[in-house]
Amino acid sequence: MMKGFKRKIEILNYLLANYNNGRRKTFFCIAVNLLDLPDIREILRQIGENNELSEATEKERGLYVVKVFQDIADKRDIKLKLRKK
């Protein structure tokens, strides 16, 4: 259990360092918390296989990563949205 938690923290730090365009911190925090580790690993695999990301702008990279997260979350019927009161 603790090992999975530490891995999620590492992944979150990686996402924030590489794909946060200044507006994605909350999204990544929610996504990493709500999705299971195998799903997150699949997302990272898809990101890693996209050769076009290295030439994309920071904004384009962020949008792509959010889309991949959203696609997986939609398949699991998980809403990656912060509910504000």
Query: What is each CA distance from 48 to 2, 44, 65, 73, in whole angstroms?
Result: 25, 6, 10, 19
Asked if residues 12 and 24 have their Cβ atoms less than 8 Å apart, the reply is: no
Q: pLDDT value at position 79?
A: 93
Q: pLDDT value at position 1?
A: 58
Tens-place pLDDT, residues 3-25: 888 999 999 999 999 998 888 89
Average pLDDT over residues 49-68: 92
Residues with Cβ within 8 Å of 52's Cβ and at least 6 positions away in sequence, in order, are: none
What pTM value is reported for the model?
Answer: 0.89
